[in-house]
Structure 1
Amino acid sequence: MSSTILIVEDEVRLADILEEYLRREGFHTERAATGPRALELWRSARPALMLLDLMLPGMDGLEVARRVRAESNLPIIMLTARDEEVDRLVGLGIGADDYVVKPYSPREVVARVRAVLRRAGGGVDAPTLLHAGPLSVDTAAFEVRLDGTPLEVTVAEVRLLAALAREPGVVRSRTELLAALGGLDRGTDERAVDAHVKNLRRKLGEREHLLDTVRGVGYRLKSEG
């Protein structure tokens, strides 16, 4: 059974685009254009996650989030045109799981939905032990091994490698990899991914070529080497 995503957005065009991309990825969707309607659908549709615009008629997104969070741990991703740091801190302070600033790529939003659902333990199941050639990534123990030897890695590096190891040889964009990092790099840009890759290559030593750069696209993890 597919997860239901509640889209709370009063701009019809944006809501249409988000709904199209989410349905294309196999999600069921419900839509609300006002704060009060969002609360009604939250109670009746029982969504797995809420995409919540900050500026809404009737009741703003922050108040909707406060009311939902008072009764539920429903994952919430906030969507807003306001990028001031105070908005970011207030939004996350009331329990939002992620925060995306307009204009955004619909693909980025879908990637973040999947990442938040994974962290919440719903919607997307994934194996905890992944293999790519000589590398193994244990996402439960947060452990990475190269030819059986443990590497000293950070939690962020484990998450990045796991995102690549789920499909060795497949190129992942920086946007997808940033989403896989979850809240660890919230507030940073895609250059954070480059920094983590640089550190991982240093730790891989002579096997640094396992992390391959595809110019203008992103990174992939080689399954041989």
Structure 2
Amino acid sequence: MNNILIIEDEVKVSEVIKAYLEKEGYKVYCTIKGYDGLNLFNKIDFQLIILDLMLPDIDGEEVCKFIRKTSDVHIFMLTAKVELSDKIQGLNMGADEYLTKPLSPRELTARVNALFRRVDSNKITILSYDNGKLKIDKEKRNVLVKGEDIILTPNEFDLLYTLASNEGKVLSREQLIQNVYGIDFEGYDRTVDVHIKNLRKKIEDSSKTPKYIITVVKVGYKFGGERDT
């Protein structure tokens, strides 16, 4: 369970946010003062801090500075300050998100969920599918099909891992190009199709009826393997 600390002096605001986050399964703690938040932070292992900048005892910016001296915990700044310079300052202090009030609790919850999905996906170094029939090792950049080591080019591996790590999501050719080749790529989008064709030959039982790399007509591609638990 991920622990979340809300440091917010508007009790009604923090109570609503807490209710939404607890429905998602998070353990949520609330304080209305910055120093109380720092004391609690030193006692409990938090994975996220939602920090208001306008606090009654100490500026939220100072709280952020104190935390960043000892921790890389994720911090969402929540504030009524809307100037671009304030946002830049907050991000430079080490905030992961700078969110301006009023903010929908549903949007905040969605951002929190997205954060932890990214964190959890980064923890996984080996993706395994269909009872180990296909294994993708992120760190070793290695792929096994039915226990056999498959040689992929760097671009083929990056394409496969990008699709697999976005399991079930349809990615356009443009999205794949940006993830694999970078935004400065000067080739043509059908380059992706060529690599996909070669990938299918290497990892699919039948490249004509692929199970893993699925074409979504007029949109792009998605990964169709069943992840092992």
Q: Same fold (TM over 0.5)?
A: yes
Q: Would the alpha carbon gap of residues 129 and 202 (structure 1) be closer, same or farther in structure 2, given more than 3 Å must change?
A: farther
Which 5+ residue runs of structure 1 have no aligned equivalent?
119-123, 178-192
Q: Would the alpha carbon gap of residues 136 and 28 (structure 1) be closer, same or farther in structure 2, given more than 3 Å must change?
A: same
Considering only CA atoms, is the larger Rg found in Structure 1 or Structure 2? Answer: 2
Contact 1:210–1:221 (8 Å) recurs in 2: yes
Contact 1:19–1:29 (8 Å) recurs in 2: yes
Residues in 1 aligned to 2:112 and 2:99: alpha-carbon distance in whole angstroms: 11
Greater displacement, 71-80 / 29-38: 71-80
Residues in 2 aligned to 1:37 and 1:25: alpha-carbon distance in whole angstroms: 25
Q: Would the alpha carbon gap of residues 223 and 115 (structure 1) be closer, same or farther in structure 2, given more than 3 Å must change?
A: closer
Matched, 1:150 2:150: no
Q: How many residues are aligned here? A: 191
Q: Would the alpha carbon gap of residues 56 and 74 (structure 1) be closer, same or farther in structure 2, given more than 3 Å must change?
A: same
Matched, 1:44 2:43: yes
1:55 corresponds to which residue? 54
1:11 corresponds to which residue? 10
1:130 corresponds to which residue? 127
| Aligned ranges 1:43-192 → 2 under 5 Å | 43-102=42-101, 103-104=103-104, 105-115=107-117, 117-118=119-120, 126-130=123-127, 138-140=137-139, 149-150=152-153, 152=155, 161=163, 163-165=165-167, 169=168
1:196 corresponds to which residue? 175
Contact 1:51–1:76 (8 Å) recurs in 2: yes
- Displacement of 1:31 in angstroms is 0.6
Residues in 1 aligned to 2:160 and 2:98: alpha-carbon distance in whole angstroms: 22
* Higher fraction of helix: 1
- Displacement of 1:4 in angstroms is 1.3
Superposed CA deviations along residues 80-107 of structure 1, whole A, max 9, x for unmatched, are 3334332222112222233334425033
RMSD of aligned Cα (Å): 4.4
Report percent identity of matched pairs: 28
Report the TM-score when normalising by structure 2.
Answer: 0.60
Residues in 2 aligned to 1:107 and 1:164: alpha-carbon distance in whole angstroms: 20
